[in-house]
């Protein structure tokens, strides 16, 4: 079974993962992404708070390691609660203080499998859809497995890797350009960049990025328009979709 055979089409809550251990953080983030979750990661408490303060992350569930250098434990929980209404799930490789466990909405002892993690997340109520997905529509997959399979059947693995590497490099530039265009309200540039993102990503099967490109292609800056207020949310979804795509490609094309 392909690593891309995951349920990215399901409507799942946005997750912020805070863990100072690089390996644990990347393994958990990959498991969550392959299960269809939109994931942001932070290596410590201050970095997580900065993501929220800069409106780059609007999580509905926060997975937080209980033992990290610096800001951690009860102090970090209080800071997170003051900024966000997300449910907090504590994770640790050893037992955590009762006060920390009591201040959170759940606790998982490492190591735990993907099923245990999924069951813990499901306890937090009905999932939420991607903020920029229209009502009545399912979230698109991060990467369409059938497109990747077609590429691999008609090209060498090296060539397929080259295509996706070029796409990722191009997206980094285009996302930066979108941010600058939003900042200066250059509507024509936003539309042009969105059109390019939509076309290239659709051809490569990066469906989530392609749909966001289509949204950028038609977004308006009319006075009183809801879309003006939603610019920060669109950028959050762009960054989240890009991170998910990078993570999937790292699984498919390991270094």
pLDDT at position 116, please?
Answer: 79
pLDDT tens-digit readout, 153-186: 988 999 899 989 999 999 999 999 999 998 888 8
Residues in Cβ contact with 146 at an 8 Å cutoff, skipping those fewer than 6 apart: 205
Side-chain half-sphere exposure of 51, counting CA atoms within 13 A: 23
Cβ–Cβ < 8 Å for 91, 108: yes
pLDDT of residue 21 exceeding 80? yes
pLDDT at position 239, please?
Answer: 86
pLDDT tens-digit readout, 104-149: 888 888 777 777 787 888 776 544 444 455 555 566 788 888 989 9
What is the C-alpha separation between 172 and 195, in angstroms, rounded? 15
Say which CATH architecture domain 15-122 belongs to: 3-Layer(aba) Sandwich (3.40)
Q: How far is CA 139 from CA 44, 84, 238, in A?
A: 30, 23, 13
Mean pLDDT across the chain, nearest whole number?
81
Question: What per-residue string of b and e applies to 119-151 under the rule 16 or more CB within 10 Å gives b?
Answer: ebbeebeebebbebbeeeeebbbbbbbebbeeb
Cβ–Cβ < 8 Å for 145, 2: yes
Burial zone of 241 (CB within 10 Å; 0-12 exposed, 13-18 middle, 19+ buried): buried
Q: Which segments of the chain belong to CATH 1.20.120.160?
A: 145-252
Side-chain half-sphere exposure of 198, counting CA atoms within 13 A: 14
pLDDT at position 132, please?
Answer: 53
pLDDT at position 176, please?
Answer: 93
Query: Count of residues for the chain?
Result: 255
Residues in Cβ contact with 176 at an 8 Å cutoff, skipping those fewer than 6 apart: none
Cβ–Cβ < 8 Å for 236, 57: yes
What is the C-alpha separation between 240 and 32, in angstroms, rounded? 13
What is the C-alpha separation between 30 and 48, in angstroms, rounded? 18
pLDDT at position 29, please?
Answer: 85
> What pTM value is reported for the model?
0.57
Burial zone of 192 (CB within 10 Å; 0-12 exposed, 13-18 middle, 19+ buried): middle
Structure tokens at 206: 């990066």
Q: Which segments of the chain belong to CATH 3.40.50.2300?
A: 15-122
What is the C-alpha separation between 226 and 254, in angstroms, rounded? 41
pLDDT tens-digit readout, 22-62: 878 888 888 887 777 788 999 999 999 999 998 888 888 99
**Looking at the domain 145-252, which fold is it?**
1.20.120
Q: How far is CA 124 from the centre of its chain?
A: 18
């Amino acid at each position: 079974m392909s690593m891309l055979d995951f349920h990215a089409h399901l409507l799942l809550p946005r997750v912020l993962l805070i863990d100072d251990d690089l390996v644990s953080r990347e393994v958990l983030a990959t498991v969550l992404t392959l299960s269809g979750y939109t994931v942001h990661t932070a290596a410590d408490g201050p970095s997580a708070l900065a993501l929220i303060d800069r409106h780059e992350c609007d999580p509905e569930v926060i997975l937080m390691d209980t033992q990290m250098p610096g800001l951690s434990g009860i102090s970090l929980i209080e800071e997170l609660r003051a900024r966000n209404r997300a449910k907090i799930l504590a994770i640790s490789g050893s037992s955590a203080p009762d006060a920390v466990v009591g201040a959170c909405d759940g606790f998982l002892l490492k190591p735990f499998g993907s099923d245990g993690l999924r069951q813990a997340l499901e306890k937090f109520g009905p999932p939420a859809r991607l903020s920029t997905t229209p009502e009545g529509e399912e979230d698109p997959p991060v990467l369409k497995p059938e497109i990747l399979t077609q590429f691999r059947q008609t090209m060498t693995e090296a060539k397929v890797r080259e295509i996706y590497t070029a796409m990722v490099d191009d997206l980094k530039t285009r996302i930066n350009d979108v941010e600058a265009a939003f900042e200066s309200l250059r509507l024509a540039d936003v539309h042009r960049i969105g059109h390019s993102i939509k076309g290239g990503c659709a051809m490569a099967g990066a469906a989530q990025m392609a749909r966001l490109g289509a949204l950028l292609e038609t977004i308006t800056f009319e006075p009183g328009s809801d879309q003006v207020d939603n610019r920060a949310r669109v950028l959050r979804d762009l960054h989240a979709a890009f991170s998910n795509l990078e993570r999937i490609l790292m699984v498919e094309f390991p270094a």
